[in-house]
Amino acid sequence: MDVLLIGASGTIGKAVDHLFNEQAFTLIGASRSTQPGVDFTDLASIDAFYELIGELDAILIIGGDAAFGSLDQLTDSQIELTLSNKLMGQINMARRGIAKLRPNGVFVMTGGMLAYTP
């Protein structure tokens, strides 16, 4: 199974990379700092990245900058950063990557940016 892991250099990405390698998947790890790299806040970077990648069985998108904290304490700019980077970055990776998926391929995107506990 050929799997693309976006966000491979982050804390969660490194753990996922390790698990997939133990299972003998063919894993392509990508982030802003890998070669080839991808900045998923930039549509041109996404398109250039996908031009280099062949067909895939799965695309896991776990990267993205986000402000973490209690919803009632995050500022508008922190929420905007999270929405424009983590949410829209992942959506754009998925939209642009659909053509790279083999039949029955899957996307997995992670969230977890806001919390509220009364």
Q: What is the pTM of this model?
A: 0.81
| Total domain count, the chain | 1
**Is residue 118 domain-resident?**
no
Banded pLDDT at 93 (limits 50, 70, 90): very high
**Is residue 66 domain-resident?**
yes
**Is residue 77 domain-resident?**
yes
**Is residue 88 domain-resident?**
yes
CATH number at residue 74: 3.40.50.720
**Is residue 86 domain-resident?**
yes
**Is residue 46 domain-resident?**
yes
**Residue 14 neighbours by CB under 8 Å, 6+ apart:** 8
**Is residue 117 domain-resident?**
no
Which residues form the domain of 79?
2-112
pLDDT digits (tens, 9 = 90+) for 48-92: 999 999 999 999 998 888 888 888 888 999 989 888 888 898 899
